[in-house]
Structure 1
Amino acid sequence: MRQAVLNDRRLDRGEPVEEKVEEDRVWVWPDLVYTELICLVLCSVVLIVWSIVLKAPLEQPANAAATPNPSKAPWYFLGLQEMLVYFDPWLAGVVLPTLIIVGLMAIPYIDTNPKGSGYYTFKERKAEISIFIFGFVVLWASLIVLGTFLRGPNWNFFGPFEYWDIHKLEALTNVNLSEYIWLQGVGVGLPSNWFVREFFGIVLLLLYIVALPVILARGVLKTYYEKLGPPRYCVGIFLFLMMLSLPMKMLARWLFNLKYIVAIPEFFFNI
């Protein structure tokens, strides 16, 4: 990012980017390969010494009568474990992580902007870089930090310096969207037919996935639609909306105790 900012300043002054004027070249062979080989050897030595010196004995065999609390996954999976609070396992463990990773990888192939090729720049690729940073920092790194430091016994939320009280109880009543509409809004019981019961949630989901991209293509994202074309735009906006669904669902849970937008337990389908 520092090099990108420096190049942006050079472009504002009408000067070429630094990558085009620098005369010193570093050859891949042997300079870069030798440097990488030395780094590989040094890192291997550090890891070997660390594994020998650091005491990390195996714990006793698992005991079903004494489950550790909190029971946390390895740190690199804590993001997925945190997502399980807001989504069903098939969404939090498979669909959303796959879409997030594929979406971040697809950004260079979906975007047709010729600027920023061969040199670092932020001003000429604000949208692409911002989306990548949002996807990595907000949707992955922050979830790992949240699960590591702010989740305690019973997976309750604790402040940075709050004591992890194993007896802490929070009165939370998670409510589905259909319950908000039928029980609190209309004032009647939930319909027995699953389609009628979840009709409003299904419509809201279709509006978000189908109608919203069309509205954005004719409004705020009109220039992107014309630049990318229908196929690239459809793929890009779908991945972008799926990425945004994670923080939106988290906010809905925190602010309104909303559990599921569409809840069809008859078919094990909950969103």
Structure 2
Amino acid sequence: MDWNQLWQILSAADNVPIIAMIPLLAFYIYLAWKQAHANDKLIDELAANPALAKTHHRKTWPFKPGWQKEVHVWPFLLRVEFLAAIIVTIILMVWSITLNAPLEEPANPNLTMNPAKAPWYFLGLQEMLVYFDPWIAGVVMPTLIIIGLMVIPYIDTNPLGGGYYTWKQRKFAIGTFLFGFVILWVSMIFIGTFIRGPGWQWFWPGQTWDHNRLIYEVNRDLPDLFGITSNLWKGIFGAIVVGGYFAVGGLLVNSLFRRTNPKDYKRMSLLQYSIMMTFFLIMVALPIKMLIRLLFHIKYVWITPWFNV
């Protein structure tokens, strides 16, 4: 265990935001989960006791007849926001004074960094370059992420869960968000920051970053494992595999979604359901592609003259 190098990585000015983000993310997920669990418990009580439902919100604290149902923005909200702004400003001032900005000398084409890493908030995209063609990882996938976030309000037909935390009433939406954001995006940022070392090779935390390290691993394409050498048949074979994934995966997700979210399924139109299913399967395909690359050293599944997947 190389503790000195591990400390240098953790204490680097570029990595401080990530070190701060991880415990904050865990804390707020725990806090939201705790409130959601309490609200779900109260929702069950209100459903079983109609008399209690007349005097309580779907939150964990009761509502009394003498209380105001609405409060003014000033001073109740702005006072809290103003205090939060002051605290954040103080933190940023202390941060900027105690940590030097990671500015380096002008770029030298004859001397490049190894590893050369993007800013921490783009490390997820850089990590995807290992598993996909550059134009897919750098253009198509970010575009799909943005479009997917834009269409969420138009395909979300569940009216529950507005204004209060709940897990029971929005399992699919919350589970999908946690999977896409925490499991995929945050984990790829973590991998790109702390796992990827010189040559963008995989180094476990505490393992010495050896710039002369060589790894004798042969990455093969999936058609090569089946002895397919023709470019035409490689494209056809890959199209069958990818199409089979969407067909079989769509059937499995459809069966699971209809069984666990029957009300949402009935409320969604065919267009809404198709869009949701497409984006969900694409999202799940990312960790599958990562695993088959890391575990089985399979580089591409679908090979064509125009793109590789």
Aligned equivalents of 1:218 and 1:134: distance in 2? 18
Name the counterpart of 2:35: 3
* CA RMSD between the two structures: 2.5
Name the counterpart of 2:243: 206
On the 8 A contact 2:198/2:209 being kept in 1, the answer is yes
Pick the aligned partner of 2:127 from 82, 88, 108: 82
On the 8 A contact 1:100/1:135 being kept in 2, the answer is no
Aligned equivalents of 1:127 and 1:68: distance in 2? 42
Q: CA deviation at 1:7?
A: 0.6
The amino acid that maps onto 2:225 is Y
Q: CA deviation at 1:242?
A: 0.7
Pick the aligned partner of 2:291 from 248, 251, 265: 251
Q: Equivalences for 1:152-191 in 2 at 5 Å? A: 152-183=197-228, 190-191=229-230
Aligned equivalents of 1:70 and 1:41: distance in 2? 37
Q: CA deviation at 1:203?
A: 1.3
Q: Give deviations 1:84-121, integer Å, cap 9, x for gaps.
A: 11011111112223323433454443122222233221
Q: Give deviations 1:4-37, integer Å, cap 9, x for gaps.
A: 1111111223355227844465422332124323
2:186 counterpart of 1:141: yes
On the 8 A contact 2:115/2:199 being kept in 1, the answer is yes
Change (3 A) 1:110 1:259: same
Change (3 A) 1:164 1:26: farther
Q: Give deviations 1:143-191, integer Å, cap 9, x for gaps.
A: 01111111111111111111111111111111112212225xxxxxx12
Name the counterpart of 1:187: none
Aligned equivalents of 1:38 and 1:106: distance in 2? 34
Change (3 A) 1:215 1:39: closer
Sequence identity (%): 46
Aligned equivalents of 2:203 and 2:193: distance in 1? 11
Q: Equivalences for 1:1-271 in 2 at 5 Å? A: 1-14=33-46, 16=53, 17-18=58-59, 21-22=62-63, 23=67, 26-48=71-93, 50-52=95-97, 54-56=99-101, 58-183=103-228, 190-191=229-230, 194-209=231-246, 211-212=247-248, 215-216=251-252, 219-222=255-258, 223=262, 225-264=265-304, 266-267=305-306, 269-271=307-309
Change (3 A) 1:61 1:230: same
Structure 1 runs of 4+ off > 6 angstroms?
A: none
On the 8 A contact 2:38/2:60 being kept in 1, the answer is no
Q: CA deviation at 1:202?
A: 0.8
The amino acid that maps onto 1:114 is P
Aligned equivalents of 2:253 and 2:204: distance in 1? 42
On the 8 A contact 1:88/1:270 being kept in 2, the answer is yes
On the 8 A contact 1:178/1:197 being kept in 2, the answer is yes
On the 8 A contact 2:42/2:60 being kept in 1, the answer is no
TM-score with structure 2 setting the length: 0.75
- Contiguous gaps of at least 5 residues in structure 2: 1-32, 47-51
Name the counterpart of 2:15: none
Q: Give deviations 1:126-158, integer Å, cap 9, x for gaps.
A: 111010011100111010111111111111111
- Contiguous gaps of at least 5 residues in structure 1: 184-189
Aligned equivalents of 2:187 and 2:102: distance in 1? 30
Q: Give deviations 1:28-52, integer Å, cap 9, x for gaps.
A: 2332124323433443354345435
Q: CA deviation at 1:230?
A: 1.0
How many residue pairs match? The answer is: 260
On the 8 A contact 2:124/2:189 being kept in 1, the answer is yes
Change (3 A) 1:219 1:126: closer
